[in-house]
Amino acid sequence: MATHHPSPPLRHRFAAGRRRQIGLALAALALAGGLAVIVDRTVLAGGGGSTPKIVTRALDRLVGGSDPVAPGATVYVAGPRGVWSGAAGVAQVGKAMSAGTRLRLESVGKLWTASLILKLVEEHKLALGDSVSRWLPGLLPYGSQINLQELLSMTSGMVDTNDFQASPAHFIGRLTDPALRSRMVALAAYVEAHPEHQISTATWLQLAAASPLLYWPSTTWHYSNIGYMVAGMIAAKAGGADLATLFRRLIIDPMHLTSARYDPAPQITGPHAVGYAVFPHGKLRDISTWTEGLAANGGIVANAADEARFLQDLMRGRILRPAELHALQMSYSADGYGLGIVIQQDGCAPGAQVFGHNGGGNGYMTTVQVSPDGRHVAVLLMNGFASTAAARDHEQKLMIDAMQRLYCAN
């Protein structure tokens, strides 16, 4: 998410907040040719021996040929026909990608953040109706007007990192503090000349605090990575521990997700795939450390199998109680967004529903889908991020098409 056509197109939201244009002047590495597609673990239950060809074809479209969209990809699919996992290409130049390779989940990690906060709701540490000012007084001048539910459902009206990156002149011009506006004009010019420069979480928060709300809370949907950064700060304050500790205690350890870790720092801890900028004709540059203030908006690192297990356990009620799971799966706007999750029609089972999300940031692209009962799940992780907007549109289209085919096949 088999012969079903992948239509209508999936409407997952892309945005880990790091879609900065990558200049072609950057030094690039040549991708070694002849990448073989390897399905390194296949378990079939009732399916024919040819079924895994769906996996190899999907991976081949993404990493094969003269102009691949990513140097490597890994996939995990589970359903009534069995469990299929595989990988293709390279985790880094000279080292093959494996099905167990860990990658940044990017905005797919928003569902982890929403689930963590709902676990804290279960523990009576906080409530979805709590305002930002209740936990972080003074952080935002409008903090008393927006609550946790609005942050998680993208209905807070807050500005987004992508707003500043897509239209810096417009959004910097809206800053209410003249001194900050002057500093941000200088910062924007510096970043244009030095794309490797990292914008900190603190800077994004400062920008949000100086920007008026784009919409009155709960009136419309507007994606905001900064809103999720704030939600993560509230979780840490209410939970009495840093986010890495809370994720381990409430989700990772109980679910035995051994590859998973909250790890938003530029240098990922432990083995992982290098994230690359992908240039025309397969040229690459390592941009793994270009995190730009990554936090609770996309700081989870995991392999495809553990991400799939997380999704299945979540939908099967093994992580959240029924009331909290219901709150997560509700749609809070006409855009069909719940708490860290997209709600949409299943493209391969008319009338059915499917949950999912996409992520995209410097070096990584991700997409997931899971059925409401957790029986069907598909996870696709890639370690490439196209260097131009047009190429990214193409990359996203191929990734979503691959996801739809994989999900529908099982």
Per-residue pLDDT of the chain (410 residues; tens, 9 = 90+): 332 222 223 333 334 344 443 332 233 333 333 344 444 443 433 344 444 788 888 999 999 877 789 999 999 999 999 999 999 999 999 999 999 999 999 999 999 999 999 999 999 999 999 999 999 999 999 999 999 999 999 999 999 999 999 999 999 999 989 999 999 999 999 988 988 888 999 999 999 999 999 999 999 999 999 999 999 999 999 999 999 999 999 999 999 999 999 999 999 999 999 999 999 877 899 999 999 999 999 999 999 999 999 999 999 999 999 999 999 999 999 999 999 999 999 888 888 999 999 999 999 999 999 999 999 999 999 999 998 888 888 899 999 999 999 999 98
What CATH number is associated with residue 224?
3.40.710.10
157 and 81 part of one domain: no
288 found inside a domain: yes
**Boundary residue ending a domain (239, 274, 293):** 239
361 and 304 part of one domain: yes
92 and 125 part of one domain: no
Q: What's residue 53's pLDDT?
A: 85
Q: Which domain, by its residues, includes 265?
A: 29-106+260-319+339-409
Two structure tokens written together for 407 = 């999900």
Q: What's residue 323's pLDDT?
A: 98
Helices 201-209, 225-239: inter-axial angle, 10-degree rounding: 110
Q: What's residue 89's pLDDT?
A: 96
252 found inside a domain: no
302 and 375 part of one domain: yes
Query: What is the residue whose two structure tokens read 């356990």?
Result: 313
- DSSP annotation string for 273-286: PPPEEEEGGGEEEE
Q: What's residue 62's pLDDT?
A: 93
Q: What's residue 27's pLDDT?
A: 31
- DSSP annotation string for 133-199: HHHSTTS-TTGGG-BHHHHHTT-S----HHHHHHSHHHHHHT-S-HHHHHHHHHHHHHHHH-TTPPP
Alpha carbon separation from 361 to 228, 242, 268, 292, 369 (Å, rounded): 15, 23, 15, 9, 19
17 found inside a domain: no
- Count Cβ neighbours within 10 Å for each residue of 294-328 and write b for 16 or more, e otherwise: bbbbbbbbbbbbbbbbbbbbbbeeebbeeebbebb
91 and 210 part of one domain: no
366 and 399 part of one domain: yes
pTM, to two decimals: 0.90
